[in-house]
């Protein structure tokens, strides 16, 4: 009997070995990398496909004009010239970019200023009906993009923007081949795009996989992998199984509660990266038809709620050391604007919370908190802790978990889950002014939650107009102070993404959900 079982096992193992994919046949050969992703965006146009599931591919196929250096500093505070070799601010509103010479697209076509001007053009990004509507926010304020020489491009903004260069590290900065785009049209381009990046797409099936092979004429030298295969594996356990069996080299999105067991698997390492996105909730500070006599109109109640929550404790319990709770708008990705010593004005302090509460007329009215199911990792778990902590101080919050954002936006609600990304300005301009200012959805969408105070607007305009670092920094601190004084929302933590990677694959994406497999990131 025992003998039989052993024979059976041996047979199965031998059989199994036949199916194993031969990754790393020899150390010198370039590997074929397989990345198991939960999904792929259905188009690979790098602006129409703005999303995590698209961004994992984009930077491997396209290059941006400017790039952030995350291979030395995980938060990428330093800008690196990339397809643009240099740039200068010609006038307060005009920027001139000088392009790299001899950069080839995947079809052999040489990139020039026309391609760049087209990529950031009105028809593509900011017209009334643009080809790629999702890019509007990144292109906000641009009024002209023009090729002024074979390798020179001028971009003009409506108002002076000292940190404009930072926008070109975002999807706005991806350079697309004008000739090819015009030849095949928007939709076909999204299905079989070409760029100047280290890998060229050879096949793309949006509900199965994307395969890209090394582009041998890449301007920055050959790519370190022979090919990249992004395979859609929706179920985490299956991604994990594939990684454990050696089928995959990288897997994404490990559920927070599974990280420990994945980490314990032989041959696998787990990377948890805090990224430039901050889950939070907004207080609905308005009286609306659906929420008349809204108790949250009273700033003291909002402050009572913020001071009632032990955010550090919750983040630690849920994430360990993977992330932290930021002081409002004090983010490490902002280089000199980041002040590790600045603390939030309103932190966990039950006594203070009680004082704030005593100044209100709040009488235990139920406050409804709209949360989108499963959108932000650990959000619902944290919310349960928080509801409990509020209950302890006498504030009655009810979570209402809904299936998508359009349902979350449906009133009545008193609190609304959301997240803030901090990219593209190099300073708190975007999260503080664009996301809370007069043009933000917080103030003008159907689901708006507040009306900025006159002082907030005044300080904001001052911040937006400040051109040099020191005046900009002091304007920013003034605006944050006003924000905290009003407390229209509460930030939870820096969001976390996780990767499972084969132990012997030396790759680190930095603090980012964007995966890049070029020679900078693979060591």
Partner 1 sequence: MTGFILSKLFRAFITLLLTVSLVFIFIRFSGDPAAAMAPPDAPQEVIDQYAEKLGLDKPLWVQYTNYLGQIFRGDFGYSVDSGRSSVSLFLDRLPATLYLGGLSLLIALTVGITLGTVAALNRGNVLDRSVMAFSVFAFAMPNFLFGLAVILIGALGFQTYLGGQGATLSWIGVLPPALTLGLASTGSYARFSRSSLLETINKPFVLAAEARGISRTRRLVFHAMPNAAIPLVTLIGLSLGGLIAGSVVTEQVFAWPGVGQLLVRSVATRDIATVQFIVLAIAATMVFANLLVDFLYLIIDPRIRAQ
Give the shortest CB-133-to-partner 1 separation in angstroms. 5
How far apart CA 447 and CA 454 sit, in angstroms, is 21
Binding to partner 1 by residue 249, rule CB under 8 A? no
How many angstroms separate the CA atoms of 479 and 457, rounded? 9
* Residue 233 near partner 1 by CB under 8 A: yes
Q: How many whole angstroms separate alpha carbon 21 and alpha carbon 351?
A: 61
Strands annotated E in 38-157: 66-68, 79-81, 84-91, 94-99, 142-149, 152-157
**Contact (Cβ atoms closer than 8 angstroms) between residue 476 and residue 459:** no
Q: Which stretch binds partner 1 (CB under 8 A): 13-21, 80-88, 151-159, 292-300?
A: 13-21
Part in contact with partner 1 (CB under 8 A); list of ranges 47-55, 110-118, 297-305, 343-351: 47-55
From the centroid of its chain, how far is CA 220?
26
Site for partner 1 in 146-165 (CB under 8 A): none
**Nearer Cβ to partner 1 (241/256):** 241
Q: Are strands 277-283 and 415-421 parallel, antiparallel or unpaired?
A: antiparallel
| Binding flag, residue 133, partner 1 (CB under 8 A) | yes
Q: Which residue lies nearer to partner 1 by CB, 74 or 431?
A: 431
Establish if 127 lies at the interface with partner 1 (CB under 8 A).
Answer: no
> Is 205 a residue that touches partner 1 (CB under 8 A)?
yes
3-state SS, one letter per residue, for 482-505: HHHHHCCEEECCCCEEEEEEECCC
> In this complex, which beta carbon is closest to partner 1, that of residue 56 or of residue 137?
137
SS3 content of the chain, % helix, strand, coil (to 5): 35, 20, 45
Closest distance to partner 1 from the beta carbon of 64 (Å): 19
Stretch that binds partner 1, among 58-66, 129-137, 290-298, 327-335 (CB under 8 A): 129-137
Give the x-and-dash track for 48-87 against partner 1 (CB under 8 A). Answer: xxxx------------------------------------
Pick from 163, 220, 347, 421 the residue near partner 1 by CB under 8 A. 421
| By CB under 8 A, residue 11 contacts partner 1 | no
**Does 226 sit near partner 1 (CB under 8 A)?**
no
Q: Please give the DSSP secondary-structure letter assigned to residue 31.
A: P
242, 295, 488, 509: which one contacts partner 1 (CB under 8 A)? 242
Among 81, 141, 160, 206, the residue binding partner 1 under the rule CB under 8 A is 206
For the chain, report the end-to-end CA distance as a whole number of angstroms: 50
The least distance separating partner 1 from the CB of residue 21, rounded to whole angstroms, comes to: 8
Among candidates 306, 288, 289, which has minimal Cα distance to 297? 288
Residue 28, classified by CB atoms within 10 Å of its CB into exposed (0-12), middle (13-18) or buried (19+), is exposed
Span of 216-224, 299-307, 343-351, 398-406 interacting with partner 1 by CB under 8 A = 398-406
Q: Pattern 264-293, binding to partner 1, x per CB under 8 A?
A: -x----------------------------
Per-residue tokens: 97: 């970019």
HSE-up of residue 328 (Cα within 13 Å, Cβ side): 24
Q: What is the DSSP string of 206-275?
A: TTTEEEEEE-TT-TT---SSSEEEEEE--SHHHHHHHHHTTS-SEEE---GGGHHHHHTSTTEEEEEEE-
- Residue 245 binding partner 1, by CB under 8 A: yes
Which of residues 63, 75, 161, 209 is near partner 1 by CB under 8 A?
A: 209
Strands ordered across the beta sheet of 489-491: 397-402, 367-372, 415-421, 277-283, 489-491
173 binds partner 1 (CB under 8 A): no
**257 contacts partner 1 (rule: CB under 8 A):** no
Check if the beta carbon of residue 172 is closer than 8 Å to that of residue 125: yes
Q: Which of 259, 420, 479, 490 binds partner 1 (CB under 8 A)?
A: 420
Among 392, 403, 503, 504, binds partner 1 (CB under 8 A): 403
Burial (CB count within 10 angstroms: exposed 0-12, middle 13-18, buried 19+), residue 489: buried
Phi, psi (rounded to 5 degrees) for 304? -60, -40
7 is an interface residue for partner 1 by CB under 8 A: no
**Pairwise CA distance, residues 306 & 395, whole Å:** 11
Q: Name the minimum Å distance from CB 311 to partner 1.
A: 21
- With binding defined as CB under 8 A, does residue 407 bind partner 1? yes
Q: How far apart are CA 369 and CA 283, in angstroms?
A: 9
In the complex with partner 1, which residue's Cβ is closer, 17 or 102?
Answer: 17
* Residues between 363 and 392 with contacts to partner 1, criterion CB under 8 A: 372, 375
- Site residues (CB under 8 A) for partner 1? 12-13, 16-17, 19-21, 36, 39, 41-43, 48-51, 129, 133-134, 136-137, 186-187, 190-191, 203, 205-209, 211, 229, 231-235, 237-238, 240-242, 244-248, 265, 372, 375, 402-407, 409-410, 418-421, 435, 439-441, 444-446
């Amino acid at each position: 009997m025992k003998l039989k079982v052993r024979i059976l096992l041996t047979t199965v193992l031998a059989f199994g070995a036949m199916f194993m994919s031969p990754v790393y046949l020899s150390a010198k050969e370039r590997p074929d990398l397989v990345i198991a992703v939960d999904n792929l965006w259905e188009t690979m146009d790098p602006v129409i496909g703005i999303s995590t599931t698209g961004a994992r591919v984009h930077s491997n196929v396209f290059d941006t004009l400017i790039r952030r250096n995350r291979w030395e500093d995980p938060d990428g505070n330093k800008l690196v010239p990339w397809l643009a070799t240099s740039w200068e601010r010609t006038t307060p509103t005009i920027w001139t970019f000088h392009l790299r010479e001899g950069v080839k697209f995947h079809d052999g076509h040489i990139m020039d200023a026309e391609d760049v001007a087209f990529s950031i053009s009105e028809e593509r990004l900011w017209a009334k009906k643009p080809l790629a509507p999702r890019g509007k926010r990144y292109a906000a304020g641009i009024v002209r993009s023009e090729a002024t020489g074979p390798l020179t491009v001028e971009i003009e903004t409506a108002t002076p923007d000292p940190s404009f260069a930072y926008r070109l590290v975002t999807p706005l900065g991806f350079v697309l081949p004008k000739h090819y785009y015009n030849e095949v049209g928007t939709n076909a381009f999204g299905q079989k795009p070409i760029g100047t990046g280290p890998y060229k797409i050879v096949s793309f099936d949006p509900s199965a996989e994307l395969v890209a092979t090394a582009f041998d004429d890449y301007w920055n030298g050959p790519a370190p992998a022979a090919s990249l295969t992004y395979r859609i594996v929706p179920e985490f356990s299956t991604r994990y199984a594939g990684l454990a069996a050696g089928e995959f080299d990288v897997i994404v999105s490990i559920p927070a509660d599974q990280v420990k067991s994945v980490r314990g698997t032989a041959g696998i390492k787990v990377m948890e990266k805090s990224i430039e996105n901050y889950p939070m909730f907004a207080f609905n500070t308005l009286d609306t038809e659906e929420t008349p006599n809204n108790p949250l109109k009273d700033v003291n109640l909002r402050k009572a709620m913020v001071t009632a929550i032990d955010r550090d404790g919750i983040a630690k319990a849920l994430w360990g050391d993977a992330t932290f709770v930021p002081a409002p708008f004090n983010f490490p990705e902002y280089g000199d604007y980041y002040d590790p010593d600045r603390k939030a004005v309103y932190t966990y302090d039950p006594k203070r919370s009680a004082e704030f509460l005593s100044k209100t007329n709040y009488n235990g009215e139920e406050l409804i908190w709209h949360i989108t199911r499963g959108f932000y990792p650990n959000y619902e778990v944290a919310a349960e802790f928080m509801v409990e902590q509020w209950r302890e101080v006498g504030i009655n919050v009810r979570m209402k978990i809904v299936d998508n954002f359009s349902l979350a936006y449906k009133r009545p609600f008193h609190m609304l889950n959301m997240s803030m990304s901090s990219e593209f300005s190099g300073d708190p301009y975007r999260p503080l002014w664009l996301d809370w200012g007069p043009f933000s959805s917080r103030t003008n969408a159907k689901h708006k939650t507040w009306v900025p105070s006159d002082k907030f607007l005044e300080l904001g305009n001052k911040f937006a107009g400040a051109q040099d670092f020191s005046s900009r920094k002091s304007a920013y601190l003034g605006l944050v102070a006003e924000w905290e004084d009003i407390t229209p929302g509460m930030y939870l933590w820096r969001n976390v993404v996780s990767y499972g990677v084969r132990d012997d694959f030396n790759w680190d994406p930095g603090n980012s959900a964007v995966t890049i497999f070029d020679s900078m990131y693979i060591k």
